[in-house]
């Protein structure tokens, strides 16, 4: 069995364009060795990383979050099932929170009674008299409310 893949082979096997693979490599998401002629050669294990990247992107995980997760995997050896399970456990809470937010968004949009305004700021059903505008920008009914910033000085109250 061939131990390494060319960029074309990795692209064909993963369904990801070569340009995207080069971009992933620039971001440090995947790694390639170089031949004497400076051609990329990918270990077969990079297929798992590319699959992980694609699935993670499909569910709305940013490339930065993906990079942080992949950085937790060992670079000196092929990640084992236990390595991937550890990464999965670390992401469980984050993914559960994303699911909760997406479910809330879906349910809130269903409850909009089809008016189509999608303006939670002006909608009299969700935000009578625009009371939520005092809490700051953004989707105040969907996104978690930020905690007040802690003061650097223990004697001062937060602004």
Note the pLDDT tens digit of each residue in 104-123: 878 777 655 445 455 555 56
* pLDDT, position 56: 87
Which segments of the chain belong to CATH 1.10.1660.10?
A: 4-110
**CB burial string 138-150: b at 16+ within 10 A, e below:** eebeeeeeeeeee
Spatial contact of 41 and 7, defined as CB atoms under 8 Å apart: no
Residue 114: the pLDDT is 46
* Domain 4-110 of CATH type 1.10.1660.10: yes
pTM recorded for the entire structure: 0.62
Using CB atoms within 10 A of its CB, is residue 21 exposed (0-12), middle (13-18) or buried (19+)? buried
């Amino acid at each position: 069995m061939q131990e390494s893949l060319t960029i074309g082979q990795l692209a064909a096997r993963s369904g990801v364009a070569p340009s995207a693979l080069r971009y992933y490599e620039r971001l440090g998401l995947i790694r390639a060795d170089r031949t004497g002629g400076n051609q990329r050669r990918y270990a077969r294990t990079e297929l798992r990383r590319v699959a992980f990247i694609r699935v993670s992107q499909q569910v709305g995980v940013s490339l930065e979050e993906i990079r942080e997760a992949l950085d937790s995997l060992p670079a000196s050896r092929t990640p084992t099932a236990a390595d991937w399970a550890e990464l999965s456990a670390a992401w469980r809470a984050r993914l559960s929170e994303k699911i909760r937010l997406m479910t809330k968004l879906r349910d809130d949009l269903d409850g909009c009674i089809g008016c189509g305004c999608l303006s939670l700021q002006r909608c009299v059903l969700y935000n009578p008299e625009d009371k939520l505008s005092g809490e700051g920008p953004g989707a105040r009914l969907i996104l978690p409310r930020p905690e007040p910033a802690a003061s650097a000085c223990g004697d001062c109250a937060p602004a």
